[in-house]
C-alpha cells in the first residue's frame, strides 16, 4: 500500500472536526491499510485520518508495552478503529511527554487521563470496545483529539524543540 503524506498545521484539514464514517467498504480498507503503512514508515505508534488529509473519523494505533525486566517483549498490537469515541475516562490524570507526526521536531508535556474506554467499529462495521491504560490510553486520547481538530500544542503545558530523534512513543 502507498505511504501517504503526513500534513502539518499549515493544512486546514488538521484543524477541522472529521466526518463520521458511514460506508464500510473497499475504500475504507484501502485508507486504513495506507494509514498503517504510513504510521510504520514515519515511524509512529498512532495516526489519525486527518493527518493524511482525509477528514474521516478513523485512527490506527500499533503499540506494545515495555516488558518488565527479565520478561520477553510482547509483539505490538494493531488497533484499527472507525468512529472512535471515549466513553469512560479515569479521574486520575498523568503528565507525559508527547510528540506528533504532524508537528515534527517538537514535543510537549501533556496531561491525559490514566485510563480510558473507547468504543467504535472495526473495518467490517462491527462494534468494538477497548479498555486502555498508561501509554496506550495516552495514544488513544492523542489520536481521537486529531479527529476533533485538537493538537498536542493545544493541550501542552510546555512545548519545546527536540534535539536529535523524536521520543520513542510518538503518536
Task: State the Cα–Cα distance between residues 108 and 95, nearest whole angstrom.
Answer: 10
- Count the neighbouring beta carbons within 10 Å of the beta carbon of residue 109: 15
Q: Which three cell numbers stand for residue 46?
A: 498512532
Least confident of 3-7, 76-80, 91-95, 160-164: 160-164
Judge: domain 12-161, CATH 3.90.45.10. Answer: yes
Higher-confidence residue: 136 or 67?
A: 136
Give the pLDDT band of residue 171 (cuts 50, 70, 90).
low
Give CA–CA dist 136/46, Å, rounded: 10
Listed by start position, the domains of the chain span 12-161
For residues 98 and 159, give the distance between their C-alpha atoms in angstroms, rounded to a whole number.
Answer: 9
Model pLDDT, residue 168:
46
The torsion region of residue 125 among left (phi > 0), alpha (psi -120 to 50) and beta comes to left
What gap in Å lies between CA 82 and CA 161, rounded to an integer? Answer: 32
Q: What residues does 60 pair with on adjacent strands?
A: 47, 80
pLDDT at 6: 98
pLDDT digits (tens, 9 = 90+) for 40-52: 999 999 999 999 9
* Angle, alpha carbons 11-12-17 (nearest 5°): 130
Name the percent of the chain lying above pLDDT 70.
95
pTM for the model stands at: 0.93
Mean pLDDT lowest among 66-75, 83-92, 137-146: 66-75
Sheet containing strand 93-99, strands side by side: 93-99, 106-113, 158-161
Quick one: pLDDT band at residue 164, thresholds 50, 70, 90? low
pLDDT of residue 155 exceeding 80, the answer is yes
Average pLDDT over residues 8-37: 97
Burial class, 48, CB count within 10 angstroms (exposed 0-12 / middle 13-18 / buried 19+):
buried
**Average confidence (pLDDT) over 108-122:** 98
Residues known to be catalytic = 143
Amino acid at each position: 500500500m502507498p505511504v501517504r503524506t503526513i500534513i502539518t498545521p499549515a493544512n486546514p484539514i488538521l484543524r477541522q472536526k472529521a466526518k463520521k464514517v458511514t460506508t464500510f467498504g473497499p475504500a475504507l480498507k484501502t485508507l486504513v491499510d495506507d494509514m498503517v503503512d504510513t504510521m510504520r514508515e514515519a515511524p509512529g505508534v498512532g495516526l489519525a485520518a486527518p493527518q493524511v488529509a482525509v477528514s474521516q473519523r478513523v485512527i490506527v494505533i500499533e503499540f506494545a508495552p515495555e516488558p518488565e525486566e527479565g520478561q520477553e517483549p510482547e509483539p505490538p498490537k494493531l488497533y484499527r478503529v472507525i468512529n472512535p469515541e471515549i466513553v469512560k475516562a479515569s479521574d486520575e490524570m498523568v503528565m507525559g511527554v508527547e510528540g506528533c507526526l504532524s508537528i515534527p521536531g517538537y514535543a510537549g508535556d501533556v496531561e491525559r487521563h490514566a485510563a480510558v474506554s473507547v468504543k467504535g467499529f472495526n473495518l467490517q462495521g462491527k462494534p468494538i470496545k477497548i479498555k486502555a491504560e498508561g501509554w496506550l490510553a495516552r495514544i488513544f486520547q492523542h489520536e481521537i483529539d486529531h479527529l476533533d481538530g485538537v493538537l498536542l500544542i493545544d493541550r501542552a503545558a510546555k512545548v519545546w524543540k527536540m534535539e536529535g530523534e523524536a521520543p520513542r512513543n510518538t503518536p
